[in-house]
Amino acid sequence: MSMCSSSSVSLSTKSWIVHSIVAGAAIAAAIGAGAYLGRYRKFRSRVVGIIPARYASSRFEGKPLVNILGKPMIQRTWERAKLASTLDHIVVATDDEKIAECCRGFGADVVMTSESCRNGTERCNEALQKLDKKYDVVVNIQGDEPLIEPEIIDGIVKALQAAPDAVFSTAVTALKPEDAFDPNRVKCVVDNRGYAIYFSRGLIPYNKTGKVNPQFPYMLHLGIQSYDSKFLKIYPELQPTPLQLEEDLEQLKVLENGYKMKVIKVDHEAHGVDIPEDVEKIETLMRERSIS
């Protein structure tokens, strides 16, 4: 198997902004919780990364297998995930034999999931149940972000390990002013300890001038998320909630049910592949940055 070249890694060496004092306090709390549980191993120590991949997609049929500079997109995502130091195991969860075959071909472990999975979270949950080993944390790694930085994966895992009162962790990055009023860019606000307060397709916070405040550090939500595995089992079963339905944002269901979600701030340019036209854009960018 061929791992990413070191030049591709340099793209991701930008550090993320984690508030060290808060993190320190949370780590102390986590150690406290670990001691309370009478365990010697680290809190939520066993971590699995799951890459959910389906073939059928309304906007982009066969998306996981699309070729990006000579490699299937799913392979690029998987190779990035392999570089994360917090993952004990990585699997691709798919309902499609072609995807499974391709993934086994480049060395990935594959779990077959049913076609009835309605979304990536359900697929992750089904895959988790089918794994032989037990895991405390599941990272849901979207297969359509072939340039995902391993540091972001590690960042959300460590955040969840350090915040025993949270069941979910995710990442945000600086919102570009031109994306402020784009409903497909989800905004997020957090409290002063880094727990999510709210997510919206609208601009939050909203300046009373009605315009983007160039001074305000607005945050864009990134798709990557990790869950406590006990929570993942009940997450798909939680009934839809009013704010979730109104905004069409799954993660609001978590907050509306009173669960806590830890959010880390990262330096990341989103290069998601949603439609066929995105492939060319990402290849151009990779050539510019000499990522092979």
Residues 6+ apart with CB under 8 A from 55: 61, 62, 64, 65, 94, 95, 96, 98, 99
Shortest CB 206 distance to ligand NAG, Å: 10
Task: Work out whether 236 is an interface residue with ligand NAG (CB under 6 A).
Answer: yes
Kindly tell me which of 70 and 217 has the beta carbon lying closer to ligand NAG. 217
Cα separation of 195 and 82, whole Å? 28
Task: Work out whether 257 is an interface residue with ligand NAG (CB under 6 A).
Answer: no
Cα separation of 56 and 46, whole Å? 31
Task: Work out whether 207 is an interface residue with ligand NAG (CB under 6 A).
Answer: yes
Task: Work out whether 267 is an interface residue with ligand NAG (CB under 6 A).
Answer: no
Q: Are 224 and 139 in contact (CB under 8 A)?
A: yes
| Beta strands in the chain, from DSSP E residues, in sequence order | 47-53, 67-68, 71-72, 89-94, 109-112, 137-140, 166-174, 187-190, 196-200, 219-228, 260-265
Task: Identify which range of 81-89, 139-147, 174-182, 205-213 contacts ligand NAG by CB under 6 A.
Answer: 205-213
As a whole number of Å, the end-to-end CA separation of the chain is: 14
At 140 the three-state DSSP class reads: strand
Choosing from 209, 210, 217, 277, the residue that interacts with ligand NAG (CB under 6 A) is 209
Choosing from 235, 249, 268, 282, the residue that interacts with ligand NAG (CB under 6 A) is 235
Kindly tell me which of 12 and 94 has the beta carbon lying closer to ligand NAG. 94
Task: Work out whether 118 is an interface residue with ligand NAG (CB under 6 A).
Answer: yes
| Total number of residues that touch ligand NAG (CB under 6 A) | 13
At 26 the three-state DSSP class reads: helix
Choosing from 119, 129, 290, 292, the residue that interacts with ligand NAG (CB under 6 A) is 119
Task: Identify which range of 65-73, 139-147, 180-188, 207-215 contacts ligand NAG by CB under 6 A.
Answer: 207-215
Kindly tell me which of 36 and 216 has the beta carbon lying closer to ligand NAG. 216
Kindly tell me which of 75 and 121 has the beta carbon lying closer to ligand NAG. 121
Identify the H or E element spanning 78. Answer: helix 73-82
Cα separation of 1 and 44, whole Å? 30
CA-nearest of 126, 67, 136, 116 to 91 is 126
Choosing from 77, 121, 200, 226, the residue that interacts with ligand NAG (CB under 6 A) is 121
Choosing from 179, 250, 256, 267, the residue that interacts with ligand NAG (CB under 6 A) is 250
Cα separation of 269 and 254, whole Å? 26
Shortest CB 69 distance to ligand NAG, Å: 32
Choosing from 45, 57, 213, 257, the residue that interacts with ligand NAG (CB under 6 A) is 213
Task: Identify which range of 63-71, 88-96, 118-126, 169-177 contacts ligand NAG by CB under 6 A.
Answer: 118-126
Choosing from 59, 133, 134, 208, the residue that interacts with ligand NAG (CB under 6 A) is 208
Cα separation of 137 and 167, whole Å? 9
The site for ligand NAG (CB under 6 A) is made up of: 118-119, 121-122, 207-209, 211, 213, 235-236, 250, 253
